[in-house]
Structure 1
Amino acid sequence: MTDYSVLLKALDLPEKVALLTGATAFTLAPQEKIGLGELRLSDGPTGVRGLKFSGGEVVALLPNATLLAAAWSTETAYEVGRLLADEALRQRIHVVLGPTVNLHRSPLGGRLFEAYSEDPLLTGVLAAAYVRGLQEQGVGASLKHLVANESETDRNTVNSVVDEATLRELYLLPFEIAVADSNAWTLMAAYNDVNGVPATEQHHVNNEIVKGEWGYDGLIMSDWFATKSAAPAANGGLDLVMPVSDPWGDNLVAAVRAGEVDESVVDDHLRRLLVLADRVGALGEHRSYPDALPAPEQRREQLTRLAAAGMTVLTNDGVLPLDRTRTVALIGRHAVETIDMGGGSAQVNPPYQISVAEGLSALVGGVTVTDGVEVRNRPATARDFLADGVRITLYDADGAVIEERHSATGTTMVGFDDEFDATVARIRLSATVLTGGQVELGGTGPGDWVVRAGDDTLTYALRVESGGFAAEMLAPPSRTDVLLAAAGETVEAEVTLLPKTPEAPLSGVGMFGLIARPAPRDAADVIAEAARAAAAADVAVVVVGLTEEQETEAVDKATLRLPGAQDDLVSAVAAAARRTVVVVNAATPVLMPWRDEVDAILWAGLPGQEGGHAVAAALLGDIEPAGRLVTTFPAADGASPAWSVTPVDGDLRYTEGTFIGYRGHAAGRAPAPAFWLGHGLGYGAWTYADAGVSGRTATVTITNTGDRASREVVQVYLRPAEADQPVRLVGWAAATVEPGASATVTVEPDPRLWRRWDTAANRWAELAAGGELLIARGLGDVRATLPLS
């Protein structure tokens, strides 16, 4: 066993502190004298991106967290952890920054697509399985973001005001479960304040609860640029500042020498870092790494299956699964440009992305594809409009070439994780268009732009005006205009970056890109064309959804309505078609005013690089879309127990307490939802019989009365005897049953859901005896009510 005290004694104070801050954007410095190697970290919500924020290695793009969680399967979560460990080890990554275990408090949260669910038990249990899959391979996980970090508006300054009972019973519970059940090796402290104290300085949460009550022996790191102080953060339980030394480094050394921080505190932080390094094989004798990943065909099967199995059938009058012999009109912008990942740090550089049009056309002969209405406010480069992506040249202030790049997406990051000494002052971007005509052309990123197509030249200044902290990277400003371009013509843009100043430290940093795509058509013409195509086919499949504009880091949504005229498109198609199926390509709730006009709705999430293949498999029944919702879908804007994500005078008050999502709807604190957490039809039909309870253990016999084998998820909820306690999910179990067959399912509830926080006594207390267990397919379909003694 490593004697960490000997290693600590070998270092002086500045050397110790130097190891507690990032060396680069995603690495920690080595220290040869104690045998410590470089530690490498990577974002990892939907893939292990590596050491570059943008334009890094080609890596697998997984389905997003809500889609994976919709399987309600610890086996799925474990498999995902193993898959990510493979991807990490190939790149010699030691820690993957995930999973995200914040809850879906308000459906407006922009980053909900990275987090599992609105329910703390479901979130914690799935996270624990994910952590096991990752860490069994020697790759560290990082539970994030500690804590009360459920929205993005003013995320770096917002003060989340949460009472102690709500904090303990709801928002800390997923962290507690994943620490207790899988001992995640790192946690990440959030940007926000909690009850007036920054998360990075939270003595109460970090020291008293996590390291004290839970006995956590791992490391707490900051979110990137989240740390606001030296002594308060060091004394508040933060072990590691990322990504650079400010505000630690010399400041922390000075704080120790001034007596503001005891050196033993620094030693504890460093000891935790050394434990992490030991666990991931970067201390002493360093670990070996595999040379290759599983075969591409194995990865394709895996990613297709994981995505399709989590897709959720919300409604179905029998049209699904689709009959292969029928003609299909496939309609919608999301059908031809399927959105496979969210925005911000969740984005990776995948080898390819399969659209629904590609996936369904490969399996069904009679498919006609019709584009849909516009779905974006900020245009993005069309995948198939440019001959070979975008060519990018970076220049310094003297006009010398620093680096030449190529981007398939049309964008590149500058100023954040550059690996050269020069400072980029100007960027040139160029591309060749495949088809001529009216072209929407422009740029994205803060700076002064000149855009050219043929004889036309446009100039404009782009500045960050909203989007919160790091908007330069995560929600950069953009502008486009419509110009004429000939097929094969080169279009180009140049941007002069803004100078860095003390008032604008992120000037010269940002995501920059060339936008070039066919000019938008009139929505009425597009809808009329779609209706004609629908009328000519046996069944119309309309694919609608959100984009990374709504489902992204740094920005919250303002509405659950689908962007653009997508609702009008669905209604027009439904009126013209014989049968209509809607596929919702979104990770989080959307409003569906056309719900009663269509014959089936399939929620498809953000399905990753095999997205089109997965949607096709689900529609055809090649893989059962057996998912169950992980978030309650409100019936209207504002019709949710917790809604606003906008701070008032800096405070975001969690006044709903523990009654978020289905808990609040069940208590009558919001109108009945469109779809409850746990809802999902799959392709079976079910009867429940002989429900019983022994102690707290529930059993029930389920029979598949459908004509296909199907997977059922039996959910058990507790309705406590106390009126001030919400109904809550306490356990679930799944069974796959052949048609006409039965299975007895046993659910062992989690005892942690029988607690309540006694604020007066400052301790946990058992719920009062009594109450009821509800055996259900979501609270909208309760099959048995069992009194508890």
Structure 2
Amino acid sequence: MTGTSSSASASDKAGTKYQDFDVADTLSKLTVQEKISLVSGTDFWHLAGVPRLGIPAIRTTDGPNGARGTAFFNGTPAACLPCGTALGATWDVDLIHKGGELMGHEAIAKGASVLLGPTINMQRSPLGGRGFESFSEDPVLAGTISAASVNGIQSTGVSATIKHLVCNDLEDKRMSSNSIVSERALREVYLLPFQIAQRDARPWAYMSSYNLLNGLHCSENPKLIQQILRDEWGFDGLVMSDWFGTYSTTEAIKAGLDLEMPGPPSLRGKQISKALSCGKLLQHHLDARVTQVLKLIKKVLPLQIPEGVEEKTIDSPQTASLLRSIAAQSLVLLKNDDTVLPFKKEKTTAVIGPNAAFATYSGGGSASLLPYYAVTPLEGIKAKSTDAQYEIGAPGWKLLPLLSRAAKTSKGQSGLDMKIFLDPPSKQDRTPIDELHIRDTSILLFDYKNPLLKTHLFYSDIDCTITPDETAEYEFSLSVAGTAKLLVDDQVVVDNATKQYPGDSFFGVGTREEIGSIKLEAGKSYSVHVDFGSLPTLTYTKEGVTAFGAGGVRIGFHRKLDRKVEIERAVAIAKKSDQVVLCVGLNSDWESEGYDRPHMDLPPGNDELVEAVLAANPNTAVVVQSGTPVTMPWASKAKAIVQAWYGGNETGNGIAEVVFGDVNPGGKTSLSFPRRNEDNPAFLNYTSDDNRVFYGEDVYIGYRFYEKTKRDVLFPFGHGLSYTNFDIKSLNVKASEDSDDVTVSVQVTNTGKTAGAEVVQVYVSPQSPSINRPLKELKGFGKVFLQAGESKAVEVKLSKKYATSFYHEGRDAWVSETGKYTVLVGNSSADTPLKGEFAVGKTLVWKGL
């Protein structure tokens, strides 16, 4: 069995109606042991309850782009929204609010009242493993989009959990790395998105980050949690640790960390009892933390979600429509020379590339989930152009594609059969303790549970049948947090048990991928068998990572490719087609929690593929799927480039709708696209050298750095083309001395022949700064949809103190200096032709919101 509660127990409680309660009164009735139980989780996803007082054990769920439910392993399908950078690229707060509402309803369907998202860390570098999860390199865009998401989530009665506080901006040694950041950069860049979200959305919960901040772990950092978050910003909610990110008992409690996750507790429970008995903790320290837990439970109580309720799906045409809209609106038309796009549906179309036939819908790690469905670009394009021809062109994977795409169970279903045993394969006449049908061969067993298991040690037989459609040499692969061998018709093809080598799979715990090959015949069925041993059987230990649960195994499979031959095949169909959609990029193996990207390039051979196809047919649209920028050495030769991100369930349909013109692209880059990794501001200070990460670029992150140093980029922040044209004019700036409001208004006209959306971006620049400051900074924006020939006034309201202030380290406060400020308005950071100004008559020194 899987999950955390039996359906029987859930049904017993389904009729329970939880009564509202007074927090102070309830606190007074709790025993000390009940209080201690409330400040840590009971398992991977649940908080403790107090049955005698009617306090339910509430459920949490990942994550930033959907609600996975309580199982990494064989979980309940869910709606998957586009990744964070894609959501940021919409620049559309109303659309993001709707996406937040959807995530809230999805969480409720999974029996969860606390959603662990959104993520609003900053992309210092293109290489961050979780860069795709966050919204933008710009703190105002990130904070504004996150506030819209939080408001949407919490409008459903579900708590958002804004994360990770703070400077968890790389994965390398993330639990031991010390982020060394100036106070000014901390406030102006890394904390500002959280501050804006707190001001505009009041999230009910925060999650601390794994790393140290200036020498002290964030989960036990009183300056961060108590002084800034609670005292300055007025936050009166719950702060939880990231999973296994609590590193002390008394220090964390005194600093303000309310909840240790996951459970059972490793640094609370008995340790709190001892700390209380010896006086290291006083009762009021514990009461303060319990109070916040009770407040969160009280806030979500109106949902009336029964404890242990069975998870369900709520897939619907309305959900699909919203997901498709978000996917399409997130796409950014980076380049469109000679108006190559949109393509014509009646013309012959070639679809080429490693990302075309695979549903690259999400990055990896906490953002991953089992989607209701996932539309590939090839499927989306074929729905528009039914005669489209396909060639892979080159491999694009870091790890072999999953075997599950080709696997059939003993009953002929898609997927594999999995049997769990207490004893190893060497024991005769083993009896399985569990038999499962699994749909995915990236098998995460961190949260697998079975009442017959006393430890995390067990063994498994994983079986399926495959029937190749082409006679060829085929490759199989295993990466494992445990041990595994793969056999085809009883012949060992891959051995990842006898000798193992550390890799970065399974959040950094698992091995490298081991690959073996065998020739298979078309139309013949073969049995595939995997002997798996759980995490305790792993033959090595690895420093700097947390190994938990039962580990996992990933099984890959694909026809062995000859890069030269595949490119030749791709070129052949490109030459005979009127137009080409070339899909390249990364996937959840390249961009994932647990490790950072080793470089900024596309996978090996992909640049050669793009060059060859562009030479064969100039009417090619290059569609790039990645959560963060990749190098594009061929960009000058490509007429059309579309940044498609990771688009969720509707990835393929979103791409097809933009490519064929059913949707006019309205996205703008949420990140600057440097030409190469060496150009980015964090290049010299990105890895965790000796557990030390020096934020040497200070406040000059993203476009702030490129503009200040006059360094050319491939595509600037805020850039995005359309199938129509817009005219932005008639700038008017209104501000008064006795008000914090600054109103910026312009007239926007769609001068083309196609309906579309434009983003009015408002930047502010101090005319006579007393310190070194960026040339300009985004301070507000507005998105408008216009029919062909239509004009509308767009008004963007700014807070004067937020628009003008810098953080003064000597005063330990924000300072809005007296003087004049230039307002620059346009449709990208590199195109701000309209200029106005306003003045600050008296210097303002301030803290708080």
* Structure 1 pair 393–293 and aligned structure 2 pair: CA distance change class (3 A): closer
1:328 aligns with 2:349: yes
Pick from 285, 302, 326: which aligns with 2:322? 302
CA offset at residue 32 of structure 1?
1.2
Corresponding residue for 1:434? 467
> More deviation in 202-211 or 489-498?
489-498
1:715 aligns with 2:735: no
Corresponding residue for 1:350? 371
For 1:410-425, list aligned pairs within 5 A: 410-422=441-453, 423=455, 424-425=457-458
Corresponding residue for 2:423? 397
CA offset at residue 219 of structure 1?
0.3
CA offset at residue 750 of structure 1?
3.5
1:663 aligns with 2:704: yes
Q: Distance in 1 between matches of 2:227 and 2:300?
A: 27
* Structure 1 pair 434–314 and aligned structure 2 pair: CA distance change class (3 A): same
1:232 aligns with 2:263: no
SS, match of residue 394 in structure 1? strand
Q: Distance in 1 between matches of 2:26 and 2:717?
A: 50
Q: Distance in 2 between matches of 1:633 and 1:179?
A: 29
| Counterpart code for 1:97 | L
Tell me if structure 2 keeps the 8 A contact 1:556–1:645: no
Corresponding residue for 1:372? 393
Q: What is the CA deviation profile of residues 549-578 of structure 1, one whole-angstrom value per residue up to 9, with x for unaligned ones? A: 221101111211101211110110010114
Q: Distance in 1 between matches of 2:308 and 2:547?
A: 38
| Counterpart code for 1:379 | L
For 1:156-167, list aligned pairs within 5 A: 156-167=175-186
Aligned alpha-carbon RMSD (Å): 2.3
CA offset at residue 283 of structure 1?
10
| Counterpart code for 2:255 | G
CA offset at residue 172 of structure 1?
1.0
Corresponding residue for 1:724? 772
Pick from 631, 634, 637: which aligns with 2:674? 634
Corresponding residue for 1:261? 281
Tell me if structure 2 keeps the 8 A contact 1:84–1:134: yes
For 1:87-102, list aligned pairs within 5 A: 87-102=106-121
Tell me if structure 2 keeps the 8 A contact 1:154–1:468: no
Tell me if structure 2 keeps the 8 A contact 1:54–1:349: no
Tell me if structure 2 keeps the 8 A contact 1:54–1:348: no
CA offset at residue 80 of structure 1?
0.8
Specify every segment of 5 or more residues in structure 2 that has no aligned partner in the other structure, as ranges: 1-19, 409-413, 425-429, 736-741, 840-849
Q: Distance in 2 between matches of 1:470 and 1:12?
A: 38
Tell me if structure 2 keeps the 8 A contact 1:500–1:506: no
1:615 aligns with 2:655: yes
Tell me if structure 2 keeps the 8 A contact 1:635–1:674: yes
CA offset at residue 119 of structure 1?
0.9
1:460 aligns with 2:496: yes
Q: Distance in 2 between matches of 1:628 and 1:653?
A: 30
Q: Distance in 2 between matches of 1:125 and 1:289?
A: 34
Q: Distance in 2 between matches of 1:449 and 1:43?
A: 28
SS, match of residue 304 in structure 1? helix
Q: Distance in 2 between matches of 1:563 and 1:623?
A: 29
Pick from 532, 543, 558: which aligns with 2:598? 558
1:785 aligns with 2:835: yes
SS, match of residue 438 in structure 1? strand
Tell me if structure 1 keeps the 8 A contact 2:349–2:581: yes
| Counterpart code for 2:188 | E
* Structure 1 pair 476–341 and aligned structure 2 pair: CA distance change class (3 A): farther
Corresponding residue for 2:295? 275
Tell me if structure 2 keeps the 8 A contact 1:46–1:346: yes
Q: Distance in 1 between matches of 2:423 and 2:572?
A: 55
Pick from 685, 689, 699: which aligns with 2:745? 699
Corresponding residue for 1:60? 79
Q: What is the CA deviation profile of residues 318-359 of structure 1, one whole-angstrom value per residue up to 9, with x for unaligned ones? A: 011111121111101101113111111111111221111111
Corresponding residue for 1:312? 332
Tell me if structure 2 keeps the 8 A contact 1:221–1:241: yes
SS, match of residue 820 in structure 2? coil
CA offset at residue 455 of structure 1?
5.2
| Counterpart code for 2:161 | S
* Structure 1 pair 655–207 and aligned structure 2 pair: CA distance change class (3 A): same
1:738 aligns with 2:787: yes
Q: What is the CA deviation profile of residues 357-401 of structure 1, one whole-angstrom value per residue up to 9, with x for unaligned ones? A: 111111113411111211123213155422322222221136441
Counting matched residue pairs gives 785
CA offset at residue 295 of structure 1?
6.2
CA offset at residue 434 of structure 1?
2.0
> More deviation in 508-517 or 608-617?
508-517
1:484 aligns with 2:519: yes
1:45 aligns with 2:64: yes
| Counterpart code for 1:449 | A
| Counterpart code for 1:325 | E
Corresponding residue for 2:11? none
* Structure 1 pair 291–395 and aligned structure 2 pair: CA distance change class (3 A): closer
Corresponding residue for 1:201? 220
Q: Distance in 2 between matches of 1:762 and 1:587?
A: 36
Corresponding residue for 2:842? none
Q: Distance in 2 between matches of 1:282 and 1:477?
A: 47
CA offset at residue 230 of structure 1?
0.4
Q: What is the CA deviation profile of residues 706-744 of structure 1, one whole-angstrom value per residue up to 9, with x for unaligned ones? A: 210110001011112325121210011111122223222
Q: Distance in 2 between matches of 1:582 and 1:469?
A: 31
Q: What is the CA deviation profile of residues 258-286 of structure 1, one whole-angstrom value per residue up to 9, with x for unaligned ones? A: 11122111111111111100110179997
Q: Distance in 2 between matches of 1:518 and 1:362?
A: 26
| Counterpart code for 1:313 | L
Tell me if structure 2 keeps the 8 A contact 1:634–1:673: yes
Q: What is the CA deviation profile of residues 403-446 of structure 1, one whole-angstrom value per residue up to 9, with x for unaligned ones? A: 22222221322243424341442122222112154221232213
Q: Distance in 1 between matches of 2:94 and 2:511?
A: 38
* Structure 1 pair 469–450 and aligned structure 2 pair: CA distance change class (3 A): closer
| Counterpart code for 1:494 | D
Q: Distance in 2 between matches of 1:213 and 1:507?
A: 37
Q: Distance in 2 between matches of 1:568 and 1:360?
A: 24
Q: What is the CA deviation profile of residues 121-158 of structure 1, one whole-angstrom value per residue up to 9, with x for unaligned ones? A: 11111111111111121100000000011111111110
Specify every segment of 5 or more residues in structure 1 that has no aligned partner in the other structure, as ranges: none
Q: What is the CA deviation profile of residues 37-73 of structure 1, one whole-angstrom value per residue up to 9, with x for unaligned ones? A: 0110000222100111231111112211111221101
Q: Percent identity?
A: 31
Pick from 491, 494, 510: which aligns with 2:531? 494
TM-score by length of 1: 0.95
Tell me if structure 2 keeps the 8 A contact 1:159–1:195: yes
1:173 aligns with 2:213: no
1:765 aligns with 2:805: no
For 1:440-451, list aligned pairs within 5 A: 440-451=475-486
Tell me if structure 1 keeps the 8 A contact 2:506–2:551: no
TM-score by length of 2: 0.89
Q: Distance in 1 between matches of 2:336 and 2:310?
A: 46
Tell me if structure 1 keeps the 8 A contact 2:535–2:552: no
> More deviation in 71-80 or 493-502?
493-502
Q: Distance in 1 between matches of 2:260 and 2:477?
A: 37
CA offset at residue 106 of structure 1?
1.4
Tell me if structure 1 keeps the 8 A contact 2:446–2:552: no
SS, match of residue 445 in structure 1? strand
Tell me if structure 2 keeps the 8 A contact 1:447–1:463: no
* Structure 1 pair 282–685 and aligned structure 2 pair: CA distance change class (3 A): closer
